[in-house]
Structure 1
Amino acid sequence: MGEQAQHGSQPPLDPLPIQRLHESLINRIAAGEIIHRPASALKELLENCLDAGATSIRITVKDGGMKLLQIQDNGCGIRKSDLPILAERFTTSKIKSFSDLSRLTTYGFRGEALASISHVAHMSVVTKTKSDPCAWKTCYSEGVLVPPKAGQTPDPKPCAGIDGTTIIIEDMFYNTPTRMSALRSPSEEYARILDVVTKYAVHNSKVAFLCKKAGSVTPELSTSPTSIDQAIRLLYGHAIGKELLHIEVSSSPTNSTSRPIGSGDVDDAEKWSAKAYCTSPNYQAKKTVFLLFINHRLVESSSVKRAIESVYSGVLPKGAFPFVYLSLEIDPRSVDVNVHPTKREVIFLNEEDITERISDAIQQVVSQSHSRTFQYQTLLPGRSNESNVKKAREEEENEGEEDKGERPASVPQPTKLYSQHKVRTSLHDRTLESMIPVLNPSRSDGDDISKKVVGLRDIPESGCDLTSILELRKAVQKSIHHDLTEIIKKHTFVGIVDDYRCLSLIQHATKLYLINHAALAEEMFYQLALMQFGSYRRLKLDPPPPLRTLLKLAVDAEPGTEKSGLSKNEIVDRIAKALVLRRDMLAEYFEINITLDGEIESLPHLMKEYTPDLNKLPAFLMRLGPQVEWQIEKECFFTLMHELAYFYSPSPSQFIPSIPDSANAQGKATTWQTEHVLFQAMRKFLVAPKSLLEDDVVQVANLPDLYRVFERC
C-alpha cells in the first residue's frame, strides 16, 4: 500500500517533444496503406494497364508474388520524359485540380500505386510508346530512379521491347519483415491474385488476360475477347454459365405520358444504369460469389450484397447462395471514389434507392424464371418397368380423341407467374368509396356525377425568355424523382382514407402507397403555374368582389394579428395598397386583374377542368402581402406561384368532419373532383420531386412481402 501510494503521488511525466518524421518513414507508412499484399499491388497495376487502353495483359507470378510479380500490357506506354517522376508520390496524368475528382472516368488518379510499390519492393519498368524507336528501362527504389548496377547512371536505358509497358516487382516487403510474416502461404497468395485477375477478366471481357506461374508452360488463367456471359462461363464454370439470368435497370422511367416542365436534354447528375448476371434458383453454392463494379472499379459494398442475398433467401434453401455479377454506372459527379486508400469502397448518392431498384429487378427476374429442378431416378434398380409403361399408355389413352395423332417432341411451357407477383388493376375495380353504404340513397344530380368521364386537355408550355422563369423550370426538372414520378403516372386509385387530412391510397404494381393528395396537388399546380407563366387562361369573377372586403374577412379570421403591432384596419390597408400598386405586373404575368377602385375582376385559371374553392380567395389575397418576396424577381415569381398553388390545392378547410359525405352535397362533389380530376391530372402533369418522399408518400404494403408472412404462418 505504501509503495502504491508513493507511486501514485509521483508528478506527471514531461510531455514528449513533437518532431517531424523523416520523408522515407512517411512514404513507407503511406505505402502500407495502399499495398497490403501482392494481390493489392496487382489490382493497382491492372487498373493502370486498363487506363492505358491495353487489349492484352500478361501476368507472371513467383512464390505468390512475393519473389516476382510481373505484368505486361500492350497499352499506350509511358513517355521517356515522364519516367524520372513516374514513382514519385502524387504524380498522375488523370487529374490537375480537386474539381477533376467529380469527373473521373479512370481507375487511378492519385499517383500513389507505383510510389508505394517502390517503397516496399525492387521495381523496374520497361516501356515503349508508338512514336519511340526503342523501349526504355528504368529501376526505382524509394520513389526515385536508381542505377540498375553499381557504377551506372540512373537515367533510362534503351533496350529492345514492344509497344506497351512491363512492370517487374521483386522481393516484395523485403524491408518490412513484419508485413511479410503476416502474409499467407505462397499458394494462398497466388489464389488471391487469380481471384483479382478473374474478376477483372469478367468485367473487361473484351481484353485478353493471361496469368501463370514463373517457369510454368501452361497458364492457370487464359481468356480471349468475348462477351461477359461467356467469360463467366469460362472462368467460373459451366454450372454457373448455364443458369445465368441477365438484368438491366436504370434510373430513367420506361416511358412518359406527358412532357415534363422544361423537358429536353437535361444533364442529370443522378442518372445511373446497372446490368447484372445472376444465377437462377437451380444454382446453389456454399457462399455468395459477388462481383461488384461501380464505374468499372472493383469495389465492395456490404449493404448491396445483403440486399441481393435477401432476394435469394426466399428462393434458395438455407445455407445456399448465388453467383452475382453487378456493374453499376453512375454519373461521376454523384460518386466519391476518394474515401479509401485502395479505392476498395466508394460513396454515391441515393445508395438506398438504387439498391432497392436493383434488388427489385433481380427479384422479378429470379421469381419469373423456371422453378428449381431436381434430379431423380424414375425406376428402382432391378425392378421391372412394366407398371411405368402401363401408366404411360393409360395417360395417352385418356388424353382424348383430339390427341390420337403423333405428338410433338416438346411443347414449350408458359412461364409461371406466381400469385404474389400478379398485378390486379382495372378501371372497373371497386374503390373504398363504393364499399361504404349510403344512408340516404335519394336520387339527385350529384348521384350520377361519377358516370361522367373527365378528359383533360393538354397544356402547352408558354414561351418565356425571363432568366428567372427558365431557372425555376430547370430547378423543377433537376429535382425530379423518376421512380416516384413513374408511380404517380401509372397508379391505380384505391380510395380516400381521410377527407379531413387529405389522405388517399393508391396502388402501383404490387405495392400500396398512402399519400397526402393535397401536397401532391399543390406541387402539381405550382408546376402548372410555372408552365403557363405569362399566358394563363382567365377565370372571370362576376360580379367582381371588393379587394378590401375580402382582405378584411381574412384578417378578421387570422389569429395572432395583434403580434404585428398593427391594427387589423392597418394590415388591410397595407396589403391592399401593395396589391393595387403592383396591379399592372399582376395583370400582365398572372391575369390577376385589380381595378383602380380595388375590385378583383379575374384570377388565373390553371386547369380548365378544375375550379378552385373560392372560399379560400380571401386567405389567398391576404397571404400575397406578407408571403411574397416582392423585391427580388425570381423569389417574387417563386413565392407568388406557390401561393397560387396553395389556393388551388384541396385543404382540410373544404371538409366538415362532423357531417358525413352522404349527407353533404358539397363534400360529395369535392370527393368526386379529387378522385376524377385531381388524380387524373397528377397522372398526366405531375413531375414528382424528391421532397415528397419525406412526409407525403409512404409505402404501406407490398404483396410479395405479405405472401412471405403468410408462408411463415
Structure 2
Amino acid sequence: MSQEKSTSSSQNPLPIHRLHQSLINRIAAGEIIHRPASALKELLENCLDARATSIKITVKDGGMKLLQIQDNGCGIRRSDLPILAERFTTSKISSFSDLSRITTYGFRGEALASISHVARLSVVTKTRSEAHAWKACYLDSVLVPSKPGQTPDPKPCAGVDGTIITIEDMFYNTPIRLSALRSPSEEYAKVLDVVTKYAVHNPAISFLCKKAGSPSPEISTSPASDILQAIRSLYGHAIAKELLRVDVTSEQSKDGIDDPERWSAEAYCTNANFQAKKMVFLLFINHRLVESSPLRRAIESVYSGFLPKGAFPFVYLSIEMDPRSVDVNVHPTKREVLFLNEEAIVERISDAIQQNVVGQSQSRVFEYQTATKTMMDLQKAHPLVGLKAILTTVDSLLLVQKTLSQHKVRTSLQDRTLESMLPVNDPSRSDDSSGRAVRLKDIKESQCSLTSIAELRQSVVKNVHHDLTEIIRNHVFVGIVDNIRCLSLIQHSTKLYLINHATLAEEMFYQLALMQFGNYRRLRLDPHPPLRTLVELAVNTESGTERSGLQKSEIVDRIARTLVDRREMLSEYFALDISESGDVLTLPHLLKEYTPDLNKLPTFLMRLGPQVDWKSERECFESFMRELAYFYSPASGVWSGDGAGQEKSAAWQTEHILFHALRRFFIAPRSLLDNDVVQVANLPDLYRVFERC
C-alpha cells in the first residue's frame, strides 16, 4: 500500500517556486562573465566610453587571482558609487528607444554587477572636479566595508583622475566554473588577445598590460598614427608588410536623404604570400569587438582559392553603419550583433577583399612562372566586358638567379613532346603536322545589354580559380596520353599535370560562346543537310527514348518543330540559320581556326530540344551555349573518326589549336580541381627519390 502511494506521488508535478535573488544574480553573472578575458572586455569598453587616452592592465594567475584596469578617463561621481554595481544601472540609455541610437560600448548595466557576484570588486575613482579620489568595495552588487569594523560607504583616498577597478579571486564562489577554466598561462593569453585587438582598433590610445610583479609589460603601445602602424607594433613586421588596405562602402544614397542603410568598411588583410596556421580575424562593428560567423566564413572562402589547405590569413575589418541598422542587444556579452542587409554586406565586403588580394598577389606556389594581370583589370571592368578583361595578360620580367637542376623547367614549345619520342613509320607524314601552333585570331567581346548575359559573364568571373588559370595560361604541352579518354599531360614550372582536355575545352568553348553572344561568325554547310534527317539519325541511335511515352517519329517532329519555330531567335543570337523548309544553313563558329567534329552534329541538334530551357531567358541562353560547347569539345569516351588519318588530324588539332586556345582564352573555374586536373609529378620530389638510389 505504501509502495503504491509512493509511486503515485512521484508522478505528480513538482511545485514551482521563486528562486532566491542571490541565485538569480549568480546565474545571470555566468552569462556575462565567462572567464577573466570576458570581464576585461567589459571593463575595457567602460574605459573607452570614459574617453580614456591611457589604459593599464595588471594580471595575476591569468586574471583569476587579480585583474586590475586603470584608466585616465572622466571618472565616476561620488553620488553614483552606491548603485554602481547594481544590475541595470547605466548612464548610457534612459528609454528603450535609445537602443536604436546607441553609440557607446556599454548600455546594459550588467558588467560590474555580474563581476561583483563572482569576484571581489573594488573601485578607486576621481573626477576632474573633485579634490580627492573615492574608494568603494562591492560584493553581490552592494557596498561592503573594505575592512572589518568600517562602514560600507565610499572612503576618500589619494588618487589621480580616472578609475582603477580591481577584481580579485574570480569565481571563488562558483568552483565548477573555476575548475572549467584553462591554465593561468592560457587564460593570460586570452587576456592579451583582447587587449591586442582593442589596441589595434584604437591606435590613438596607449595600452599597457603586464603580469603582477613583472618589471616589463607584455604589451606596451604608444599612440600610433594609424591602424597599420598599430598592427605592425602588435603583430609584427612580417604581417604588416603583407597587408593590403581595402575600403568598401554601400551604394550612395541621394543627397540630402538620411539613409539608415548606408555603411562603410575599412579592412587590412594579408595578401596571398602570407600564411598562418590559424586565422586571425579582428572584426569591429561601430567600434565594438564582435563576431560574425557568416562574414568569417565568406572571408575564409575567399582565401581558400589562394592559400594551400591548412593556411589562413590575417584580417582586420572595421564596419561603421547607422545605429538604427544594428541591433546590439542580442547577446549578453554583446559579442554578436544583428544588422540589416547582412547577406548583401557580407557579399560586397568579401568581393572587395577578393579583388584586392588577387590584384596584388604574386605566386607563392610556383617558383618560376610569368605573372598574369587578372583581378585588377577584371574588377575595374564593366560587367559586360568582364570576360574580355580577365583574358588580358601581360608577361612579367623573369627572375634572374642561379637555378638548381631540380628547379629547371622547360620554357620552349620546340622541346620534345611524348609524340616525338615514339617511333613513327609513316613516310607520308608532313613536317607541318608537328610544327608550331596556329596563330589564333583575336576574339572581341560582343556588346550586349541583356541583363541575363551580363549575369552569366559575371558568374564566370566570380568562379575563376586564379592559380589554375595561370597554370593553363603558361603551361608547356607534353603530349596526349589517351585519345579516347581525352587525357593529356602538361607541365607548369616544375610540376607535371594530367588533365582531361575535353572537359577543359568544353568549359572554354562555353566561355567563348558567352563572350561572342549575338556576334558569332557563321560556319556554312554545303550542301545544306535537312534538320529532320539529322535529328532522326540521333534519335534512332539514342537509347531510352521509350521512357518518354512517345514514338521516335513523334520525338523527331517535336524537336524539329521546336527549332524551326524559333529559327529567327536562333539566327539572331546564335548564328544558327535554319531555312523555312527545315534545312540547316549555318552553324555558329566559335573559334575560326578550329573545326568541330561534324559527326556530333545530329546529337547536338537533337539535344537542343529536350536539354534547352526555352521558357526562361537566362536558362535558355545558358543551356544552349552549354550544348554548343559540348558539340565543339573533343569527344570523350569514344573515337568518332573514321580511321588513323582522321585520328592523327584530330590529335594535331588538339595539340596545336585547342591547347593554344586554352593558353590564350581559358578562365579556369574551381570545379575543375575535383576530377579534371591532377598533379602527377614534381621535379624536386623526383630528385629526392633518385638521390636515394
Cα distance between partner residues in 2 of 1:177 and 1:528: 68
Aligned to 1:210: 208
Q: 1:691 aligns with which of 652, 656, 671?
A: 671
Question: Do the aligned residues in 2 keep the contact of 1:92 with 1:110 (CA within 8 Å)?
Answer: no
Match for 1:173 among 163, 171, 189?
171
Alignment of 1:484 onto 2:478: no
Residue 679 (structure 1) aligned to one of 650, 659, 665: 659
Give the residue type in structure 2 aligned to 1:686. F
* Counterpart for residue 427 of structure 2: 442
Distance 2:108 2:652 in 1: 62
Aligned to 1:404: none
1:429 partner amino acid: D
Corresponding residue to 2:89 among 81, 84, 92: 84
Corresponding position of 1:501: 485
Alignment of structure 1 residues 154-303 onto 2, 5 Å? 161=161, 168-180=166-178, 192=189, 196=193, 208-212=206-210, 219=217, 221-224=219-222, 248=242, 273-274=270-271, 293-295=280-282
Give the 3 Å change call, closer, same or farther, for CA 291–481 of structure 1 in structure 2.
Answer: closer
Partner of 1:516: 500
SS at match of 1:621: helix
Q: Which amino acid aligns with 1:496?
A: I
SS in structure 2 at match of 1:691 = helix
- Is 1:530 the equivalent of 2:499? no
- Correspondence for 2:371: none
Q: Spell out the pairing of 1:355-366 with structure 2 (5 A cutoff).
A: 361=364
Task: Give the partner amino acid of 2:607.
Answer: R
Q: For 1:602-640, what per-residue CA distance to the aligned partner results, in whole angstroms no more than 9, with x for missing partners?
A: 111111121211111111111111111112222111111
Are 2:124 and 2:164, in contact at CA under 8 Å, matched by a contact in 1? yes
Describe the superposition over 1:497-547 as per-residue Cα deviations: whole angstroms up to 9, x where unpaired.
Answer: 111011112222333222111111111111111111111111111221111
Q: TM-score when scaled to structure 2?
A: 0.63
Deviation, 1:57, is 3.6
Aligned-residue offset at 1:466: 1.6
Structure 2: runs of 5+ lacking an equivalent: 247-263, 284-288, 320-329, 337-346, 351-356, 369-399
CA distance in 2, matches of 1:59, 1:75: 14
Amino acid at match of 2:500: N
CA contact (8 A) 1:548 1:572 kept: yes
Which residue of 583, 598, 615 maps to 1:631? 615
1:464 and 1:182 map into 2 onto residues whose CA distance is: 63
Please name the residue that 1:385 is paired with.
none
RMSD: 6.0
**Counterpart position of 2:448:** 464
Quick check: 1:670 aligned with 2:650? yes
Q: Which amino acid aligns with 2:314?
A: S
Query: Counterpart of 2:533 in 1: which secondary structure?
Result: helix
Q: Distance in 1 between matches of 2:471 and 2:49?
A: 40
Q: What's the secondary structure of 1:700's corresponding residue?
A: strand
Cα distance between partner residues in 1 of 2:152 and 2:165:
21
**Relative to 1, partners in 2 of residues 1:34 and 1:483: Cα closer, same or farther, differing over 3 Å?**
farther
State the percentage of identical aligned residues.
59
- Counterparts of residues 575-614 of structure 1 (less than 5 Å): 575-614=559-598
Q: 2:381 — aligned with what?
A: none
Distance 2:403 2:9 in 1: 75
- State the distance in 2 between where 1:215 and 1:140 align: 25
Contact 1:56 1:209 in 2 (8 A): yes
Counterpart amino acid of residue 506 in structure 2? E
Change (3 A) 1:486 1:437: same
- Cross-structure match for 1:61: 59
Q: Matches of 2:613 and 2:604 in 1, distance apart?
A: 15
| Equivalent position of 1:548 in the other structure | 532
AA of the residue aligned to 2:89: P
1:247–1:361 contact (8 Å) kept in structure 2? no
Shift of 1:645: 0.8
State the shift of 1:583 in Å.
0.9
Alignment partner, residue 376 of structure 1: none
TM-score (norm 1): 0.61
Answer yes or no: is the 8 Å Cα contact 1:246–1:276 preserved in 2: no
Q: Where does structure 1 lack aligned partners over 5 or more consecutive residues?
A: 1-6, 97-105, 253-266, 279-288, 312-323, 333-337, 366-413
Rounded Cα–Cα distance in structure 2 between residues aligned with 1:109 and 1:562: 71
Residues in 2 aligned to 1:84 and 1:461: alpha-carbon distance in whole angstroms:
65
Alignment length (residue pairs): 560
Give the Å deviation of 1:579: 0.9
Q: Within 2, Cα distance between the matches of 1:427 and 1:20?
A: 86
> Aligned equivalents of 2:28 and 2:636: distance in 1?
62
CA contact (8 A) 2:192 2:209 kept: no
Q: Cα 1:64–1:578, aligned 2, differ >3 Å: closer, same or farther?
A: closer
CA distance in 2 between partners of 1:77 and 1:584 (Å): 80
How far apart, in 2, do the equivalents of 1:111 and 1:531 lie?
A: 60
Deviation at 1:140, TM superposition (A): 8.7
| Contact 1:593 1:601 (8 Å CA) reproduced | yes
SS of the residue corresponding to residue 441 of structure 1 reads: coil
Q: Secondary structure at the match of 1:172?
A: coil
Q: 1:112 to 1:293 in 2, by over 3 A?
A: farther
